C-alpha cells in the first residue's frame, strides 16, 4: 500500500480485505459502489471472467516466480 499511497491520495484508494468480501459480499460491494460514486442500489450486472485464456485456468506460475513475488512483497506486507 505504501507504493500506491506515494502516487495516489488516500481518498482515491479503497481497500477490500478478502475476509470482508467473503463474510458479507453484498455490504462490501455496496460500500465499493458508494466509494466509486455509483448507485449502491443498482443490481449487480452479469459479470463474467474475461481475463482468462480459452481452455485454461489462468497463467501458471512456477514455484521460483512465486517465491520471488513473495520475497518482493514481504516488507510492504509487514508494514
Sketch the domain layout of the chain as residue ranges. 16-43
Average pLDDT for residues 47-61, to the nearest whole number? Answer: 63
30 and 40 Cβ atoms separated by less than 8 Å: yes
Q: What is the 3-state secondary structure of 43-60?
A: CCCCCCCCCCCCCCCCCC
pLDDT, residue 35, reads 94
pLDDT bucket at 54, cuts 50 / 70 / 90: low
pTM strictly above 0.85: no
Average pLDDT for residues 37-55, to the nearest whole number? Answer: 72
Average pLDDT for residues 8-27, to the nearest whole number? Answer: 93
Amino acid at each position: 500500500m505504501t507504493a500506491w499511497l506515494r502516487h495516489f491520495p488516500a481518498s482515491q484508494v479503497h481497500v477490500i480485505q478478502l475476509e470482508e468480501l467473503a463474510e458479507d459480499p453484498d455490504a462490501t460491494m455496496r460500500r465499493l459502489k458508494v466509494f466509486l460514486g455509483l448507485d449502491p442500489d443498482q443490481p449487480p450486472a452479469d459479470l463474467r471472467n474475461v481475463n482468462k485464456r480459452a481452455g485454461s485456468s489462468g497463467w501458471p506460475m512456477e514455484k521460483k516466480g512465486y517465491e520471488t513475488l513473495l520475497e518482493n512483497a514481504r516488507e510492504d506486507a509487514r508494514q
